[in-house]
Each structure stands twice: as C-alpha cells, then as structure tokens.
Amino acid sequence: MSSKIPRLEVERLVRSFNGRTVVDALSLQIMPKQVTCLLGPSGCGKSTTLRMIAGVERPDEGTIWMDGEIVCDAKFSVPPEQRGIGLMFQDFSLFPHLSVAENIAFGLTGSKDAKRSRVIELLQQMDLLRYIERYPHQLSGGEQQRVALVRAMAPRPRIMLMDEPFSGLDNRLRDGIRDLTLRLLKAEDTAVLLVTHEPDEAMRMADEIALMRDGRIVQRGAPYNLYTRPVDHEAVAFFSDTNILRARVKGALALTPFGRFLAPGVPEDSMVDIVFRPQHVRIDFDRNGSGPLATESGGTPARGIVERARFMGNESLVEFRMDFDHSMLSASIPGVFVPKIGRAMWLTVPRDKCFIFPSIE
C-alpha cells in the first residue's frame, strides 16, 4: 500500500439530530503514523465524528475511505467490526467477569500462546503486568483506563480512534502513558484520530490539529501554525487567555495607546481588535517611574496600575487597570513577580506578537 494514500479519509460528513446539524460537511485526511487531533469545545461535533468513522453512527451524507477503499457512503456501510479500527472512548467498557488478560485477549486472533504473548508484551510496556490476573473491579480508575488502552492496541488496528483517552490518569502518569501509547501506535503504522477539548494535550500529542466549532473545521494544520497564525479571535482564545485592544484604522494603521499597528487591507475608519496573549506583554522595568519612551520594536509604553498579582507556579499573573481607558490587561511573567497592589508600571506590547481582526462589536 502506497504511503501516499491516506490511511483514513473522510469527505463532507454530515450528521443531524432532531433538525440540528451536529457535524457539517467535515473533511479530513490522516496518513499512516500520523496523529490528528480534533480539538474544540464540548458539543462541537468531535465525538459524533469519531462515532461515524467507527461505524457506530451512520452519517446523513458523506464518504469514508480506509486505505483508498470506501467503507461508508450514502449506499452502504462496512460493519464496525470489519473496519480494522481500534476504539478508546471515555467509557472503558471492560468486561467485569473477565480478568485483565482475558479482556485484552478478547479481540485477538491466533493461537492461545500467540495471544498470551501479545497480552504480556503490552502489559509489560504499560507497567501493568502485575495486574494480569485481576478483574476490573480490583483496579483503580486509572488502571482500568490503561487496560482499556492496551485492549484497544492489542489487535494492531490500522486506525485508532481516541476520545479523551487519558482523562482518568493523574498528572504524574499522564505524560508518560500518552507518549508511550503514541510511540507504540506509530511503530505499527497506525493512524490516530484523537478527540480532546484540552489544547495542551493537542499541542503535545498531535502532528496536526483540526480546530472544530459548530460542527465544522475552522482551521487545520501543525500545532505551531495554529498557535502562531490563528484565523480569528476564538482560535487565539482557545489556546490561551487573551487581551483585546480595540482601535480605529486610519491610513492602514490601527492607532492605539501602545503605538501604531499595521492593518493592511482594512477599510478606512473601521474598527479592529488587536489581540495578544498575556505572556507577550512586556513590563518596562528600565523606565518605570520616568515616563514613556517609544521604541521601534516595542512600540509606545502605556501606564497601568496593578489591581491583582498571583504566583501560579511557573509564572506570575499580574492584572493592570490601564490609564488610557480603565480597561483590564493581564500580563504573565516567568517566575515569581508579585508587585504591590496600586503600583504604577509601564507596559509595552510587541507588534510581532499581536493579531489584528475585524472588531467583533
């Protein structure tokens, strides 16, 4: 099978419930060894998309291919058990009357020895071998989730569909189990479609992110590209907190207390929103108390008064009440920085860290 043929391809999938369109003309491709993440808020259609690909939900319209062969269209649908797809949903669905070994071996074919060998291999890799003869009720929630992951991987599926699969793991285990799971799946040329509403998880795991909203993919690409070149306000805000500075455009320039920002192609005298993240706000420590001084790269400093400051662990979050319009602005500072409430400070916003969109008001 040519590596240029997508392992999974869906074209214009549509699914409606009670007259409401939940998935709206969704299309995507995933290659072998590729991890694609459907990222979006609850209710945007992520899980419904997974269920249609798995075959447990029938699309109203659209086509699904696996390795270049149609498995579902308007005329027919290959049964779920014949699609070669591994499923890992939030519901572990372990058989309570079967041991860990029997749960994992349930979907395997071959000799008894071959199945046992595969079970032991995966349990060792997931550090679960000591639980091989236990039953689900004897395991913690996190252990049950890891067993469910092993069971889904055991038959070596061509495609793995995962819906919030690591949500039951504590932070100490999550990163290691995620990385090991993806390494095992990629080693067997498995294409992975992962659903999450956690941007940090998507950024860590995905080769490609498809950002969903209202049943549609609004932006798709490498994690770095989505983070640094978002398509709109909501795309910026999904990955981090934001500050928004509203400005009027004059002569292709947005005029703000932080200086002028290029706004090419924006109609004259229209309003734009300049969106920037708290971690990109700079505190001008050199000139605090001596007044503003414009710079070529940082723009014009503007004065704000500290309203609140909190140490968050790896960083400190400081909120300012700005002099120019009394709006609130948040700054994220690495390390420990907790200035006194009421302190005046000068802030700058680097132009290359800002996004300009038509005003939403």
- Per-residue model confidence as pLDDT tens digits over 54-108: 999 999 999 999 999 999 988 889 999 899 899 887 777 899 999 999 999 998 9
- Any idea how long the chain is? 361
Q: Is the dihedral of CA 320, 323, 325, 326 positive or negative?
A: positive
Phi and psi at residue 309, in whole multiples of 5°? Answer: -145, 130
Q: What is the pLDDT of residue 332?
A: 96
Q: What is the pLDDT of residue 125?
A: 87
List, in sequence order, every beta strand (DSSP E) within the chain: 8-17, 20-30, 35-39, 61-66, 69-72, 85-88, 159-163, 191-196, 208-213, 216-221, 243-250, 253-256, 259-262, 271-276, 282-283, 302-311, 315-322, 328-334, 344-348, 355-358
Burial of residue 304 (CB within 10 Å: 0-12, 13-18, 19+) is buried
Q: Look up residue 353 and give its two tokens.
A: 């860290």
Q: Are 266 and 358 in contact (CB under 8 A)?
A: yes
Q: What is the pLDDT of residue 316?
A: 95
Please report, in angstroms and rounded to a whole number, the separation of the first and last CA atoms in the chain: 52
**At CA 221, angle to CA 69 and CA 164, rounded to 5?**
75
Burial of residue 358 (CB within 10 Å: 0-12, 13-18, 19+) is middle
Q: Which residues of the chain fall below pLDDT 70?
A: 1-3, 168, 286-298, 361
